[in-house]
Amino acid sequence: MNKKNKAPTTKTPKILKESKFSPFAIEIVKKLKRSGFQGYLVGGCVRDSLVGIKAKDFDVSTDATPEEIRKIFRSSRIIGKRFRLVHVFSRNELIEVSTFRANAKEENNSEVIKDAEGKILRDNVWGTLEEDCIRRDFSINALYFDPIENHLCDFHNGLQHIQKKILVSIGNPLIRFEEDPVRSLRAIRFSSKLKFKISNDVKEAIYQKGHLLANISNARMFDEFCKIFLTKNAFDNFKKLDSFGVLKYLVNSDGYEENSFSLKFQHAALINTDNRLKASKSVTPGFLIAALLWPRLIGASKEKGVLNLRKFFRNMDRIIREQQTLTAVPRKFHGYIKDIWSLQLKLETRLGHQPYKILNHPRFRAAYDFLLLREEAAEDTQGMGDWWTQFQKVNRPGKIELLKSLRESRSGPVEKKFGFFEELS
């Protein structure tokens, strides 16, 4: 291949020259160039470096075909069918190297296949750098940086848009979002991550084409779910997704009133996730999904304001199944989510020796954190969180004392003994 083209070279900003790119990614670019091909760092790593954010992964783009790339790098593998590219490995790093692509000119080209709604199903026509640029989603994602020559290729004013902090589509967003509806989620995600405005035509396209997200595979939607909700901007993204009317494609939740427990609880869980990530603590999609779906589970399991246990346990499976049709939540999280939910009941009842067993339950910590979040959002907490905080802290005689005073405080009819989720009434 190796068709050279003239790229407009913008004056490379100092911040980019001084950015720390992965030495391995730079080595890959060098090797491609030594083999007579073009090679650029592209996408998120260039964009983030220009914005002053530490890049998290590095993508390389080249005019070498996957087979040619494969030949140059011994530790590499061709992957993907819809979008063929090459993974090049070092001992502790993986770099995605993709071949420049072009939009197919002929309707019947078998390397680009679209469905009836215009969605691209297969996309493997090679092209030039310029053609590759046009196919990227937003101008800020279409910056190509050659770290050897220190030059930046910018065909769509990406640099200017970074300076103006605005997200601009490459081409008509109505068509671009038809080709790939996930771009509307990406627009929202980047605007939260970078604190950029979304240009008006992109906003309009999200409103008009958001419904096409229903056609995206649940596996791809789960990937997006994680990028949206597990990268420090969950709360911002949640509010934006809701205001654009596309939250329902990611979360099986009803819309709740501004000051309701349900919405406050969802918000508390999202803020908690963001704070944990900012403090470099671990997060799991299981916990957040359990929280986002909790109001629906409780709402569907109540009868005349009282929780119906049979319904509660039956609804657990149904609600996970419904979420599954939206996002392919890996199996390993299903049990985890159900454990957190059912432990909420046990944390409240605290009968007999149960509390000792619960303390040793592998999901106790998650369930306890979940309870604290419920309390954070609820008006009347009944001191349950405090009780469990104490119960963990004190020694055996202290535990016996806590259980005794709990028993004494519970006199009256059975249904009055437990305030089963009154916060949701």
Q: Rule CB under 6 A: which residues touch ligand ATP? A: 43-44, 57, 59, 136-137, 141-142, 180, 182-183, 227
Q: Give which of Mg ion, ligand ATP, none residue 338 binds (C-beta under 5 to 8 Å, depending on kind).
A: none
Each as own residue / partner, the long-range contacts of residues 258-264 (CB below 8 Å, 24 or more positions apart, any chain) are 261/295, 261/377, 261/378, 261/379, 261/423, 261/424, 262/295, 262/299, 262/424, 263/295, 264/377
Instruction: Determine what percent of the chain falls in helix, strand and coil, rounding each to the nearest 5.
Output: 55, 10, 35
- Ranked by CB distance to Mg ion, the top (closest) residue is 44
Min. distance of Cβ 357 from Mg ion in angstroms?
Answer: 45
Angle of the 384-393 helix axis to the 364-377 helix axis, nearest 10: 150
Candidate segments 56-64, 83-91, 211-219, 393-401, binder of Mg ion by CB under 5 A: 56-64
- d(CA 63, CA 126) in angstroms, rounded, equals 8
Q: Could you identify the residue written with the tokens 């509010």?
A: 239
Residue type (1 letter), 84: R
Candidate segments 57-65, 134-142, 159-167, 335-343, binder of Mg ion by CB under 5 A: 57-65
Min. distance of Cβ 245 from ligand ATP in angstroms?
Answer: 20
Min. distance of Cβ 231 from ligand ATP in angstroms?
Answer: 8
* Catalytic annotation, residues: 57, 59, 137
DSSP 3-state of 359: helix
For ligand ATP, the closer CB: 233 or 315:
233
Min. distance of Cβ 116 from Mg ion in angstroms?
Answer: 30
Min. distance of Cβ 189 from Mg ion in angstroms?
Answer: 11
For ligand ATP, the closer CB: 156 or 264:
156
Among 44, 66, 127, 147, binds Mg ion (CB under 5 A): 44
For ligand ATP, the closer CB: 209 or 264:
209
For ligand ATP, the closer CB: 57 or 369:
57
Q: How many residues lie near Mg ion (CB under 5 A)?
A: 2
Query: What separation in angstroms does the CA of 390 have from each of 344, 352, 358?
Result: 17, 17, 14
Min. distance of Cβ 176 from ligand ATP in angstroms?
Answer: 8
How does DSSP classify residue 96? E
Q: Which positions ≥6 away from 88 have C-beta within 8 Å?
A: 28, 60, 69, 73, 75, 76, 94, 95, 97
Min. distance of Cβ 59 from Mg ion in angstroms?
Answer: 6
Angle of the 261-278 helix axis to the 364-377 helix axis, nearest 10: 130
For Mg ion, the closer CB: 44 or 286:
44
For Mg ion, the closer CB: 57 or 130:
57
Angle of the 261-278 helix axis to the 234-243 helix axis, nearest 10: 140
Per the CB < 8 A criterion, the answer to whether 229 and 288 are in contact is: yes
DSSP 3-state of 402: helix
Q: Could you identify the residue written with the tokens 């160039």?
A: 33
Q: Give which of Mg ion, ligand ATP, none residue 272 binds (C-beta under 5 to 8 Å, depending on kind).
A: none
Triad 114, 124, 170: Cα angle to 5°: 70
Q: Give which of Mg ion, ligand ATP, none residue 180 binds (C-beta under 5 to 8 Å, depending on kind).
A: ligand ATP
Does 46 bind Mg ion (CB under 5 A)? Our answer is no
Q: Give which of ligand ATP, Mg ion, none residue 183 binds (C-beta under 5 to 8 Å, depending on kind).
A: ligand ATP
- d(CA 322, CA 328) in angstroms, rounded, equals 10
Q: Give which of ligand ATP, Mg ion, none residue 182 binds (C-beta under 5 to 8 Å, depending on kind).
A: ligand ATP
- d(CA 374, CA 270) in angstroms, rounded, equals 12
For ligand ATP, the closer CB: 134 or 300:
134
Per the CB < 8 A criterion, the answer to whether 228 and 193 are in contact is: no
Summarize as ranges the residues that interact with Mg ion (CB under 5 A). 44, 57
